[in-house]
Amino acid sequence: MNSDNQSIAYPRHISIVMDGNGRWARQRGLPRNAGHRAGVRAARKVVEACGERDIEILTLFAFSSENWSRPETEVTLLMRLFVESLQREVQDLHKNKVRLRFLGDRTSLPIALIRQMESSERLTASNEGLKLNVAVSYGGRWDLVEAARLLATRVAKGELQPEQIDEALFSAELSLAGVADPDLFIRTGGEKRVSNFLLWNLAYSEFLFSDALWPDFDSVLLDQAIDDFTQRRRRFGRTTEQLSAG
């Protein structure tokens, strides 16, 4: 019997940097936007697969704070694609009991997208299936600065003493407050970096980098990633002997 539960556990929370849409399109002589459309189709399939596999939480990185620096035409097309895709998919997601939440700085988003996000969140708020978080206009540093600002405001109002601020209070102000940290971080597209995703929450996640371009990512590659995860020994700072002793 394996007493090391940490190494055989199934991931509760998977987070994915969905990278490689542009290269996927270029390989086919298509415009970048065709890659983004194919990326939405891949996301849809992975959401379904996570639901079927009893994954509790899936957090997808769709658009970073830094992606605002892309050419205006690409940004505009992406925003339009987010609105369209959300409109098209929300009823199915709802039927499948998915609870949808968006993370990120909404202030610069087009109003049509903000409305669609809000109505999708409202519609699915009491669903008890897969918790799907989509990061749009999100940056890990933005998230940390927002948390610091919220805590500073509470201190300024006299509601809180600086000495009371600890990790629990800090994380309660982050976008993923109350959500278990990602067990598994997947990045497709071959780059081995975090690109300002969930800086706080990834502190102890297992990292898996796949060379597959995001539109080619599917349930087979997801299963391989989960299998790989179940082989890992998560020590959280402890020794292997401590873990074996149970």
61 binds, among Mg ion, ligand IPE, none (CB under 5 to 8 A by kind): ligand IPE
Shortest distance in whole angstroms from residue 20 CB to Mg ion: 6
Q: Buried (b) or exposed (e) across 28-57, using 16+ Cβ within 10 A? A: eeeebbbbbbbbbebbeebbbbbbeeebbb
| Choices 18-26, 30-38, 177-185, 195-203; region in contact with Mg ion by CB under 5 A | 18-26
Q: Are 86 and 109 in contact (CB under 8 A)?
A: no
Q: How far is the CB of 94 from ligand IPE (least distance, A)?
A: 24
| Residue number with CB closer to Mg ion (19 or 143) | 19
Q: Which of 19, 143, 181, 183 is catalytic?
A: 19
Distance CA 53, CA 58 (A): 11
Token pair 């379904």 in the structure block, residue: 48
Residues in Cβ contact with 63 at an 8 Å cutoff, skipping those fewer than 6 apart: 78, 82, 104, 135, 136, 137, 138
Chain residues in the site for ligand IPE (CB under 6 A): 17-23, 61-64, 67, 78, 189, 191, 193, 195
Q: Which is nearer to ligand IPE, 15 or 67 (CB)?
A: 67
User: Which partner, Mg ion, ligand IPE, none, binds residue 17 by CB below 5 to 8 Å per kind?
Assistant: ligand IPE
Single-letter amino acid code for the residue at 127? N
* Residue 88, both tokens: 């098209």
Q: Which is nearer to ligand IPE, 11 or 39 (CB)?
A: 39
Least Å distance between CB 113 and Mg ion? 21
CA–CA distances in Å: residue 240 to residues 6, 7, 207, 246: 11, 11, 19, 10
> Could you confirm whether 19 is annotated as catalytic?
yes
Closer CB to ligand IPE, 12 or 23, in the complex? 23
CB 197 to ligand IPE: min, Å: 7
Q: Applying CB under 5 A, does 19 fall inside the site for Mg ion? A: yes
Query: Which of Mg ion, ligand IPE, none does 143 bind, CB closer than 5 to 8 A by kind?
Result: none
Single out the catalytic residue among 21, 67, 133, 196: 67
Task: Quote the CA–CA distance of 157 and 149 in Å, as a whole number.
Answer: 12
> What b/e readout covers 65-84, taking b as 16+ CB neighbours within 10 angstroms?
bebeebeeeebebbbebbbe
89 near Mg ion, judged by CB under 5 A: no
Name the minimum Å distance from CB 18 to Mg ion: 9
Q: Which residues are the active-site residues?
A: 19, 67
Write out the residues near Mg ion by the rule CB under 5 A. Answer: 19
